[in-house]
Structure 1
């Protein structure tokens, strides 16, 4: 059964898409920009933007009954691959050693001129 997930603890969609879609035990989280849901502000540095994007992902996962430890795949979009090390330092602090599969790609641009955007695929345990 397919269902959409939405939470006020992450920024709302800025287009015709859902924050996440759950099918069976898998959750597909749309790319999360580093927008703070309470202020609609975006931090300036790649490190701060990575942290906010992951906080947004975390909020959506929790709304679906999952968490960061259930993430099986991430895709990180960077405006500049030269900022990979700064992103990676923050990114690794959100996962405890059992890292998900990951792709990181440089893109020509991101919505709202963000420096980073992160999407994930996660497992949702049966009790949720």
Structure 2
């Protein structure tokens, strides 16, 4: 096994805790959970509502993937965390599904949780594989 490579990217939101944006080894890339934070103004309030927060979270994930030279087509697994699982699940799924081709959706786990950093409504992380 190759030694892990740890990535921090200047154009992604600064980590809210001690972690890297991504870590990779042997072609596997583990993208840290992203929140709906504006990387240009991290003190700005989070977007209102699950739809806007999901889009912003995907925008941040796409920045990290792009900086890694990857795209959504390289994602093999996703985990999503929702603070209002029953209230937001359907609307979240509508936005989530719009980012992946219907026949190329990664494996996924979606978890209801009592809280996320910055009082976000959603957090998503990815596992990707280099071609």
TM-score (norm 2): 0.91
Q: Does 1:67 align with 2:71?
A: yes
Which residue does the alignment assign to 1:45? 49
The CA distance in 2 between the partners of 1:104 and 1:96, in whole Å, is 19
- For residues 80-99 of structure 1, the aligned pairs below 5 Å read 80-81=84-85, 82-97=87-102, 98-99=104-105
Q: Does 1:118 align with 2:124?
A: yes
Secondary structure of 2:126's counterpart equals strand
Which residue does the alignment assign to 2:28? 26
**Contact 2:16-2:117 within 8 A present in 1 as well:** no
Secondary structure of 1:95's counterpart equals coil
Q: How many correspondences in the alignment?
A: 125
| C-alpha deviation, 1:94, in angstroms | 0.8
Which residue does the alignment assign to 2:60? 56
**Contact 2:77-2:127 within 8 A present in 1 as well:** yes
Secondary structure of 1:9's counterpart equals coil
User: What CA deviation, in whole Å up to 9, does each residue of 1:27-66 have, x standing for no partner?
Assistant: 1011101101112232011011011111111111111111
Secondary structure of 1:73's counterpart equals strand
RMSD: 1.0
**Contact 1:6-1:63 within 8 A present in 2 as well:** no
Which ranges in structure 1 are unaligned for 5 or more consecutive residues?
none
The CA distance in 2 between the partners of 1:39 and 1:69, in whole Å, is 29
Which ranges in structure 2 are unaligned for 5 or more consecutive residues?
none
